[in-house]
Amino acid sequence: MMIAFKVKALICQGKINHFKRHLLLATTNHRCRHTKSNSYKLLSYRPPDWASQLQMIPLVKVKLFQPFTPIHKWSLPNIPDDVDIYIKRDDMTGSVLSGNKVRKLEFLLGEALATGCQAVITCVGVQSNHCRTTAVAAKQLSQVQGVTDRFDDVILTVGSGGTAAGVAIGNFLTGSHLRVHAFAVCDTAEYFHSHINETLNSIGLGDTVRSHDIINIHEGARGLGYGISKPEELEFIKTVAQQTSILLDHTYTGKSALALTNELRKHRSKIKGSRILFLHSG
């Protein structure tokens, strides 16, 4: 959860009321320009056609990162011979603002700036990438290519549900035939399905599709618990770094990548594709 302050007014990322939307509309025209006194450029946001009918669409954003992160083949250890793994490098969104969290911060901080907020407070879990990225982005704002390869399945890590909801809903809206899989590093599959269903309801898709229809959530990545590592998990992270030069962390991507290899070897029917894209969320 992120909260932005303007004098005594609170703005919470989770809910956008009608007053706030009108305020944002009224201030956007005055702020969507670059001036000598501002070190940022507040940009009007227009969603792609496939998302234009959703509710609660952001109106503004700020430029914080390089969105077109690379995709390349990944020689992950212990993968069946009939499977090709690819990795999307959202750990390379920028030299400082690495990780996928910065994607939503472009909208959240853009909204905070458009409404004149002067401070941001964020509430997160232990070892949070979001916390670090928010602090860096807020400090920056106070001072100053597409892929043609086709994949069968996309794999990501789910710890709070935001990325899983965004990828699954975007995949559904674009009519993509990708199968989306999320490996949970905490909580249960039903918990995350409930969160995604809440998101679908909030953007006006609740009567159109449900979470179970657009994403498979696997529970095999939790291990001993959130942020708690087993020796084999740490050994896997070390092996991947040595053999592929890809750095995984022990809370999120390390656990989900190991769970993926186990699933492909032991439960091949759950992930059927031979061309798989792993989203490295940084």
Mark whether 15 and 139 lie in a shared domain.
yes
Say what the pTM is: 0.66
Tell me the per-residue pLDDT of 12-28, one tens digit each, with 9 for 90 and over.
333 333 334 443 443 44
pLDDT at 9 over 80: no
What is the DSSP pairing of strand 275-280 with strand 153-158? parallel
d(CA 212, CA 180): 11
Question: What is residue 71's three-state secondary structure?
Answer: strand
- 63, 45 contact by CB (below 8 A): no
- Which pLDDT score is estimated for 127? 64
Mark whether 132 and 211 lie in a shared domain.
no
- Which pLDDT score is estimated for 139? 72
Instruction: Select which of 44, 128, 202, 229 is catalytic.
Output: 128
- Which pLDDT score is estimated for 22? 40
Mark whether 76 and 118 lie in a shared domain.
no
Residue 169: pLDDT band with limits 50, 70, 90:
very high
Mark whether 82 and 26 lie in a shared domain.
no
CB atoms within 10 A of CB 227: 17
Mark whether 83 and 102 lie in a shared domain.
no
Share of the chain above pLDDT 90, in %: 52
Q: Tokens 């092996």 correspond to what residue?
A: 239
Tell me the per-residue pLDDT of 114-143, one tens digit each, with 9 for 90 and over.
888 877 887 766 666 677 778 777 777 765
Q: Of 113, 143, 173, which marks where a domain is finished? A: 143
- 90, 281 contact by CB (below 8 A): yes
Mark whether 40 and 126 lie in a shared domain.
yes
Q: Of 143, 170, 204, which marks where a domain is finished? A: 143
pLDDT at 240 over 70: yes
211 is catalytic: no
Residue 260: pLDDT band with limits 50, 70, 90:
very high
Mean pLDDT over all residues of the chain? 81
- Which pLDDT score is estimated for 40? 61
- From residue 241, alpha-carbon distances to 47, 59, 96, 216 in Å are 37, 40, 21, 28
Mark whether 227 and 198 lie in a shared domain.
yes
What domain range is 262 assigned to?
71-95+147-280
Q: Is 236 exposed, middle or buried (0-12, 13-18, 19+ CB in 10 A)?
A: buried
Q: Of 110, 143, 176, which marks where a domain is finished? A: 143
Residue 33 or 235, more confident: 235
CATH number at residue 271: 3.40.50.1100
Tell me the per-residue pLDDT of 149-164, one tens digit each, with 9 for 90 and over.
689 999 999 999 999 9
Tell me the per-residue pLDDT of 175-220, one tens digit each, with 9 for 90 and over.
998 999 999 999 999 999 999 999 999 999 999 999 999 999 999 8
- Rounded mean pLDDT, 90-105: 76
Mark whether 134 and 205 lie in a shared domain.
no
Strands (E), the chain: 2-6, 9-12, 42-44, 60-62, 71-73, 84-89, 119-122, 153-158, 179-184, 216-218, 275-280
- Which pLDDT score is estimated for 41? 76
Lookup: tokens for 76: 């992950």
Mark whether 89 and 220 lie in a shared domain.
yes
- Which pLDDT score is estimated for 97? 61
Mark whether 132 and 213 lie in a shared domain.
no
Mark whether 51 and 124 lie in a shared domain.
yes
Mark whether 116 and 177 lie in a shared domain.
no
Question: Number of folded domains in the chain?
Answer: 2
